[in-house]
């Protein structure tokens, strides 16, 4: 995930901004929601879907089932990084959806899968990786 993409990839962008001492860029008022899933949870869900014969030909959402407001994500990342960066608000792009959260009930029932790593734990792991590699 490239941290330089201004409109997408909010997690690496916020982390990069926080560890660099730059203000975190929030579009709109930050009340739009997204669902985040740690990569290891995603991989497990995908592997289960590809290995289970009953899942063949099925459309299954693999993702986080918890919505997080973008402003709350920014605050969590500031807390976890210990950054003194502020939050800078910019106009919301016209086509930005107010809500993104998959229905993962089919994955839970058919695959016996659900995310295990919490948002804060996943962010802490990701922040640690960024601090070592950037």
Give CA separation, 81 vs 21, 51, 103, in Å.
10, 38, 31
CATH of the domain at 99: 3.90.25.10
Question: Considering the entire predicted model, what is its pTM?
Answer: 0.89
- List the structure tokens of 8: 């997408």
Return the pLDDT at 7: 52
Which are the contacts of 110, defined by CB distance < 8 A and separation ≥ 6? 52, 54, 55, 58, 60
Q: What is the DSSP letter of 54?
A: G
In a domain, 4, yes or no: no
- Going residue by residue through the chain (134 aa), what tens digit of pLDDT does each one get? 454 555 568 999 999 999 999 999 999 999 999 999 999 999 999 999 999 999 999 999 999 989 999 999 999 999 999 999 999 999 998 888 889 999 999 999 999 999 999 999 999 999 999 889 87
CA 71/CA 80 separation, integer angstroms = 14
In a domain, 3, yes or no: no
Q: Quote the Cα angle for 118-54-100, to 5°.
A: 35
In a domain, 5, yes or no: no
CA 25/CA 35 separation, integer angstroms = 18
Domain that holds residue 39: 10-133
Task: Domain count for the chain, please give it.
Answer: 1
In a domain, 48, yes or no: yes
In a domain, 104, yes or no: yes
């Amino acid at each position: 995930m490239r941290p330089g993409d201004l409109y997408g990839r909010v997690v690496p962008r916020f982390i990069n901004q926080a560890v660099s001492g730059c203000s975190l860029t929030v579009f709109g008022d930050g009340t739009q929601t997204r669902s985040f899933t740690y990569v290891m949870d995603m991989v497990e869900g995908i592997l289960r879907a590809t290995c289970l014969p009953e899942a063949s030909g099925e459309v299954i959402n693999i993702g986080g089932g918890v919505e997080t407001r973008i402003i709350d994500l920014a605050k969590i990342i500031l807390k976890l990084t210990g950054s003194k960066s502020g939050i800078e608000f910019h106009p919301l792009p016209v086509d930005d959806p107010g809500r993104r959260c998959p229905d993962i009930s089919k994955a839970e029932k058919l695959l016996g899968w659900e995310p295990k790593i919490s948002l804060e734990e996943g962010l802490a792991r990701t922040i640690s990786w960024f601090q070592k590699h950037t």
